[in-house]
Amino acid sequence: MNVLWNIGRHALRNKTMTMNVSERMIGSSFARPYCDNTPKDIEKVTPPSESKFAHSRPIGMTDHKVNKLERYLLVWGGKYKSLDEVPNFVRQDTMERARNKARIKINLMMAAATLFGCGLMIWSGKRAQARGESVAKQNLEWHRKIKEEAEKEAAKKIIS
């Protein structure tokens, strides 16, 4: 019985959350979602009539002017076969998809290059270890050279 109560409660909450504001509003107060006495004469929103400034195409659909780099992205992303096929204007969502595909491809290539570089450094480190080289030895050698140069300069100052 408790399970049925929870299911009904969640169904009511989900119905209320999916309704838009105009379905829930009556005057200035919110309506109950399952109430039968809601007003039936709510006006439906109609699109404005065509004016003399109306476009022949929907606004925002083909309003992106393609530059040279974006042409390459559209071809590289597989939307068009060659640069000649790419139109001067494309839909905004088409351009966004091409950018996203290029971004993903570049990220995957950078990840592969990073993994290759890591493998190369591991290989190089193992070869250096086999030769007997280490960072500690290199550090000691560098300090020895610096100390020798400082002693030579001190000796030159004493002589002169």
Token pair recorded at residue 64: 């992106």
Strand partners, 29: 26
Q: Write down the mean pLDDT value for the chain.
A: 77
| Residue of 41, 99, 45, 101 whose CA lies nearest to 70 | 99
Look up tokens 């393609």; give the residue.
66
Q: What are phi and psi of 84, to 5 degrees?
A: -70, -25
* pLDDT recorded at residue 74: 92
pLDDT tens, position by position, 102-113: 999 999 999 999
Q: Which tokens in the block code for residue 108?
A: 């995957």
16-37 pLDDT tens trace: 555 555 555 554 455 555 655 5
User: Percent of the chain, pLDDT > 70?
Assistant: 61
